[in-house]
Amino acid sequence: MVGYTESLTDPSYEGQILVLTYPLIGNYGVPARPVDLDILPVEFESSRIHIAALVVGAYTEEFSHFLAQSSLGAWLKENNVPAIYGVDTRSLTKRIREKGSMLGKVLARNPDSLKAGRRISLGASPSQVPSRASSPHSSWRDDFIDIPFYDPNQKNLVAAVSITSPRIYKATNTSLLHPSGRPIRVLVLDVGMKYNQIRCFVERGVELKVVPWDYDFLAELEPYDGLFVSNGPGDPTMVKTTIARLSKALENADKPIFGICLGHQLLALAAGATTSKMKYGNRGHNIPCTDAISGRCYITSQNHGYQVDTETLPTGWKELFKNANDGSNEGIYAVDKPFFSVQFHPESTPGPRDTEFLFDVFIQNVFDCAKTGISGPISMPGGKVEHPVRADVKKVIILGSGGLSIGQAGEFDYSGSQAIKALKEEGIYTIMVNPNIATIATSKGLADKVYFLPVTPDFVRKIIKYEKPDGIYVTFGGQTALNVGIKLKDEFEGLGVKVLGTPIDTIITTEDRQLFASAMEEIGEKCAESSTAVNFDEAAIAAKEIGYPVIVRAAYALGGLGSGFAQDEAGLKALCEKAFATSPQVLVERSMKGWKEIEYEVVRDCRDNCITVCNMEVSFRYPYPYSATDLTRQQNFDPLGIHTGDSIVVAPSQTLSDSDYNMLRTTAINVIRHLGVIGECNIQYALNPNSQEYCIIEVSRL
């Protein structure tokens, strides 16, 4: 969805026509071009654009991002890279899926045809060519300047993208030291290296010596402690010299080796396996891969057209990761030696940061080998494959929401009905408690039994005693069901019923503003400066310390009920009167009115697999008063402070860069794991439109 500046500068795309299928491209512009390459700018992955041409469906010259210095089109023109939009990229993708990867070319119009004003109908038969054409043409090709097809795979693309002389990158954080006192150094074989791979090492205290693709590292005179083989473009069999040297390094087995993407394929070839060209490859930011050791599934970023043939791995090597979509190989490791590699991009950029821990795995192995002098196998986190014991339930109660309102609207009817279907597929007897007859979840024949009774502690307690269920879900009915779960927390065990999904303690943590702020502080995340209050006097003291304007949030409330902005003490008093009428506690916090409001939908299972389903951009900061130009240039009209139910929401986000998007995505996953949510939830942020400063507003809809 994001990351076009990173993708266009990825050396792995050297010589390729890149098709972006995201519905709108160019919306956050392009940052200032890097001048000092020693800085390794975050928004770019190399010093130049590597693609041969760009094809997109929809493009905009209007952009919105605090770092943007120009449009995407202007950047492409600077680099003489042709691009075309208005293409049905979905149809093009289907054709590639059916026929496989193919050669292509982007043609420019013939100036003579433009002067003649001829109309063109690509792909039309001669009988369909409009009669208004000034002269008959046998083919639309005559109106374009034709060029021969170019097959980049016939060229040594690695030589075109690799550096030409060695270069040292010092650690940017506290250096890891060798027992001799010198910095730990990793020798990097650059076969098309991305900047973020360099960042992932130097930010972890490792010194790098990056060398050209054909560098004889076997004859290296300066000491180093590990070997890293980068990503890169093209057919891996084209760099035979590099493969031969890697094969010798594997025989020596005196230093840990880690490879990514092309580096993965080269390591496999050096070990004695084979590679093959895939029909259409794997390219995208959301491709699932399963860890063969732990059984965990990770969302990965990928860009490759070749694969390692798992069945050809020699004795002593095993598969480390497998693609969960097509079953292709995504990683290998040596059973008793310090060698491993992965096909996907753990350094991401663009894409999720979920597997960046693999750099820690390699660096730890390098450090241990340097310290002990013994080259041992890698140690992966996550343990061994285990099949967790599932809750033994045969009858389950699901609490609905009752009447639809802000905070518990139609989404809970949808999620509740889906829960019923899932439980019935498992052969579990389902009981729905919901007084609202106008819902799908209470439709005849869906649940095994429906109680059209109020969702209150008294009625739920009576139903439990009568039905004697094994389990209960309190997370499919909005605030009403959550409040019932909290009130009956200490009774469930005595009633013989197990709470399924998110634990009640987690619900309490997210509902209690002070507990939530403390939980975020435990993992180094921050909420807005705030203070809880149980009466107006406490709220007034808190507001005075924080400084007006402030926002007042009611705890345990439906979708922001009783919440709002206070410009002064009079406004605070009015809000507190409303809030304390429905809630025992309020949170008085720093106002971030005018910031972007960003939401992520997150799902986590009992095995700690965690993904973000989508994200939404609720608001964008505007100068006041609005002008007609403002309203046509931006896609979001409401600043933070307008309730989501009353505002314009864009999904997915439109003004976040790859760095913004994945910063918040990574935070969302860390927060949900720390809280212990099991199931679906929503995390909301306030994001400063002029920087990457953000605060967590809340986690809701557990």
Report the catalytic residues. Answer: 261, 345, 347
Residue 50 to residue 9: CA distance in whole angstroms: 6
Tokens of 182: 């010198």
Q: How many separate helices (H) and strands (E) can be counted in the chain? A: 18, 30
Cis ω for the linkage preceding 625 (within 30 of 0): yes
Residue 256 to residue 177: CA distance in whole angstroms: 16
Residues 6+ positions from 213 with CB-CB distance below 8 Å: 158, 159, 162, 189, 190, 191, 232, 239, 242
Residue 361 to residue 415: CA distance in whole angstroms: 39
Run of H or E including 679? strand 679-687
Q: Are 281 and 326 in contact (CB under 8 A)?
A: no
Residue 261 to residue 228: CA distance in whole angstroms: 12
Run of H or E including 422? helix 410-425
Please give the distance of CA 634 from its chain centroid, rounded to a whole number: 24
Q: How far apart are the first and last CA of the chain?
A: 26
Residue 433 to residue 458: CA distance in whole angstroms: 13
Torsion sign, CA atoms 281, 283, 287, 293: positive
Which candidate, 276, 530, 497, 512, places its Cα nearest to that of 396?
497
| Helices 262-271 & 240-252 angle (0-180, nearest 10) | 60
With H, G, I as helix, E, B as strand and everything else as coil, classify residue 113. Answer: helix
3-state secondary structure 295-335: CCEEEEEEEEEEEECHHHCCCCEEEEEEECCCCCEEEEEEC
Residue 434 to residue 411: CA distance in whole angstroms: 15
Residues, the chain = 702
Residue 196 to residue 359: CA distance in whole angstroms: 11
How many CB atoms are located within 10 Å of the residue 356 CB?
16
Run of H or E including 201? helix 195-202
List helix spans (H) across 447-595: 457-467, 478-487, 504-511, 513-522, 536-546, 569-580
| Tokens 């940061």 found at | 353
Q: Are 317 and 333 in contact (CB under 8 A)?
A: yes
Residue 382 to residue 607: CA distance in whole angstroms: 10
